[in-house]
Structure 1
């Protein structure tokens, strides 16, 4: 308990102000949220003379005998803890206020709702009491130094984010979300392992559902536990009471009654839909969140789910953000109601995760994305909301896991998660008054400036594959894999795309090829599943060739992402006779062969789905950032009337790009080696004698590898971006060499490229690839490192193959 004494509760000044002006102040909140400690602080500061708890059998017996007489005997001002254990208390307190002309001052606290059903369903203390909710500790309270209380709610309405100031998330930010904000779990048991903590939370939940927390409330603890488990398994999910009733085997009315019970005990919260569809109840369109993210974590991770999974990470992050904002509502100067928004119009559903409305009717819309990269498409729901509500719309934010705030428009920002806990990421009020009149999209952010760059339409992904593979016993389920990738794009990166599979999409066919150049000016991507049958299929070859040639004409080779589904023998052949294979080897591609054989519920399958989704997101973001060209240094599409670049311009681009390519490649390979060495050294240091020690060791290994893992991911992204631009110019120069005939490529360029290819070939990828595939089976804590290594191995091999292919072609 001593550790929490050093944490200032931001609600305390608001509570003291209420005590001085209101006869009765009711502070409600979950058990162990810190109410008792808060009362002790008030007593030490002489804001109350004495404090009594209804968990004391003697006090409860005396109060139950004659509540009004007992209240008269108390020194004033007084506080009563766990007041909900005495149902007659609110009516007795009303009588005391009546006879003393409201001169009484008291504080009531409760782990369940107090006194709102005492007089025929009405509140006996209406107009005489103010109610406050003590939420779990916010990150702002935990990390506050000398900043004092401040509310992010006020900042969301009237503050200005500090653009250009980078503050990285702490490496253990996911662990903080898992542990939540209840002091008992976050502060007092901070040294406990996550597994031990989850067992403790499970025991506490069972105790809370069996304790007589609310006398005279009839309930079946088993049903209550089943309903709660279902809700905690889906943080941020819509309240589908019919589905809950079906899964548990009870009727819908019973489900609704138990949800009410759980809400009164501060175990779950529901947010109503800002737009309430006609003929639907408020609850049927509401979303449900755990009162603390640790509650959902204890249930989710008991089923071997991990934060590496898209749906889990997205739901937990959304629950965490809602939890932070709900806490800040308690002490905000701005009076705000909280809801979400979902509306279907003309067959199209638009939604926003959070809507804040202040007393002036101003609306703030918030989207939450488990991604470090925010693009213009992430504002799609917010823009739809803005269109619906016009002048009432005040601001919109996309909260992600990046490092800095970025202005996308004068009322739209990408906001880092840290902005919810660190006041320095907001301008001071004086600065905000100056900044608010001059907010413009950040010019160096790498994101689109809305007024100057057109927003691309929703991305389209066309899947090209052999039907024989899909239908054969050895070909795997290509369509399901493609669907899972699209789901991961939305779940992890917040990216909604249109997926076109020719079995059901009429737009995938001859008409596409007639307008392919126009499609590529927008945002269209091809994902071919490469197999031996694919390379033999006339239709597949036409799809690949037509798209690839159109992409090259438009300076957009990066719009293809080939996936190696079954490795064709010709792919690694030294004698290249197939132009499709040649073009494939010159294009960055991913090896996903393990997904075909993996069980859909396995870690290997999930890892590969997320690797493909991550690469597609990078491609789409790059395209959105520069929709008219790949890069100023690349072979850009020329304005109408200007001649196409010649060989000398392409070679000049190559020469200019080469130092950057060598530098980023060197950093990438160095970080790859560092992560491999750190993995070997870290695992070698830990010796586990039993399962508990093994679990603890894997947690330490995972934490140790986080930093080198992040360095590898960042350097890989930089190397791939430069590599794409370099190969674009090299491939175009290759076609011109073929036209010219006998002219030879510069020898110094050839030597540099051979050296880079040899450098890539010397990397020891085979052994590491095998280890990386086994890591998720050892521990979920190793999944992020496994993904990083597998992605890096694929990148290294693709880079080498593209260089070898180019060198072979130019030497022939």
Structure 2
């Protein structure tokens, strides 16, 4: 496929398309056709994530930083936010696009749900990301017949908007970060490395803090599970469960607040480090990069890989926390706010792992530690 040819990736949940009887897939075809008849250029949109070509084209576009002709459309529904795969796709794409100053290449379509869908979970990082983009509200349009004038006009407007976004992306100026990190500007590289070397230890501190408070919260939850079991054996009924829930809420007040604090700091530090890591990975691919700089970058990449690995150790525990929090929240309103805080903070780390997994993939595919001499 010609790299100058515009290519899109469609992020959605298969179940939503099934419920809509294929109408979401139909929208892909309508937009592609409208784009072509309006601009005279073909538009290929990858829809089936099980198709091997999706993964191949994704890696080719992302790894080569040819983002000026690459976009993503995310079909936002209530189920979308519960899909870890969809979250990973959007977060990974947005991470690359933002590091190149191309935020507009992520186009969210609010497809279904209440008008307050994006206001119901303001602490969700993905919700915040979607709200920062100029999303299209399709919640009323999806009820229209696909052949209706209103529906066709909306498809036309989407195609035009895509054409404008792609045209703007192809003409963009280098970001300040890219200019500062030009290969012949050694001071820029050193300064960026210094900033991120300061941030990585803080990121590691967050992970350590998470580990400690996670163990503390886990012990309280185990206590509550045991107490509820004993209460049920004594036929304590709902009164017994309510008593345990109230006691659990008291025990969890302080550790959950600390857990949320670590979640906020983790997200903030990752936002500092991520654009720089991606930029330095791109720089490390330059065959003319001096070996001394390549070795310096390699040491930094080893530290980044270490952070990714340490974070990954927390993910299974946090996923379990998130699931358990939903169940425990059903017991009593006294514990519900704490469980929702716990769930949101855990999701922040799980989402952040998608970012660091992408670092790991790129660094390892480029040769492990990026210290190898260019051929």
Q: Which has the larger radius of gyration?
A: 1
Q: When you count strand as a share of all residues, which structure comes out higher?
A: 1
State the TM-score, normalizing by the size of structure 1: 0.22
State the TM-score, normalizing by the size of structure 2: 0.46
Point out which structure has higher relative CO (alpha carbons under 8 A, 6+ apart).
2
